[in-house]
Every structure is written in structure tokens, then in C-alpha cells.
Amino acid sequence: LPTAAPKRLLSPPTGAAGMGTPVLAVADGRMILVNQGLVDFSPDDAELAAAIAHELAHNILRHRARLDAAGVDRGLAKQFGRNARMFKQTEIEADRLSVWLLAGAGYDPSAAARFWSRFGQRKGRPMFQASTHPSWRDRVAALEAEAATIAAARMLGRPLHPPLIDAPPPLE
């Protein structure tokens, strides 16, 4: 049977954001901010949930507090050396946990890979990849691997339990 395309439950208001609106979601350790650009960019609720799950994962894993405790510089120096490496590690961790959060919320875990694939190939993206984030291709490959782990656990009848929850690795 053919399946219908996922539907949007959250519709952006008409004229609320033009094509030039940046796509933005951030986590501050307590809350998540999502702007209209992200809502407009997401073709369905599952992909919007994927972006929100990524930011929620930053808060669940206490990334801001862990980066602060490690003495990471949030200024210009965050793009280099140890600072960049630690920021990138938190991005990878948030990506991994986001897939589990999607699955637990009843969304298709592969929505995360779809979102980041489209985000990585969007028009107007920066010419150079920030050293604080994985490339979109690496990100998508890791998300697909995490979704495969979830699918395998489901096939074996195992409960879904994200490995990062019990013991997040130290920031290095």
C-alpha cells in the first residue's frame, strides 16, 4: 500500500517568515528556543521534532554545564583546538540521543537523518564547515547507525534505553 506523506500539525502563520529567515534552534541548559525559520524549514512534524530533540538532548546531557566545568571558551577561541573538539563532541552526543528521543516519542527515528541531510544541503548554508560541528554527511551516517541500533533493539524485543543516559563520556 502506498503511504501518505507525513502531515504538519503545526502550521506556520502566513507571511510570518520570509525565505531569508534564519533556521535557528538553541538550548541554554534549561530551555529550548525554536524560531519560525526552523518551523518553516521542516516539511513535517517528525523533522521538526528531530531538531527539537537534538536541542533537548543538549539539555538532558547537561552540555552547557559540562562545557563550563571544562573551562571551554565560548568566544572566538571556541572554533579552535580543545574548545572546538569539545563542542563537536557535544554535538555528536546530542545527535545520538536525539534519535532515541524521537523513537521514545513515537516518531520515526530516521527523521533525524532526513532533517540533517536537508539542513546540510540547504541553500545559503555557510561555505566552510564550522569545526565545532560534524559535517552533514558524517552526521547523517551516525544518525542512520543510531536508528539501525534502535531498529535492532525493537526486533529483539528489547526496551529502548539510550546508552548515553547512564554514563555520558567525559568531555575530552
Nearest to 73 by CA among 62, 57, 84: 84
Radius of gyration of the chain measured on its C-alpha atoms: 17
pLDDT band, very low/low/confident/very high, at 145 (cuts 50, 70, 90)? very high
**C-alpha to C-alpha distance for 162 and 150, rounded to whole angstroms:** 9
pLDDT at 100: 97
pTM, entire model? 0.83
Of residues 85 and 131, the one with the higher pLDDT is: 85
The one-letter amino acid code at 102 reads L
pLDDT at 5: 43
* Half-sphere exposure for 154 (CA within 13 Å, toward CB): 12
Average pLDDT along the chain: 85
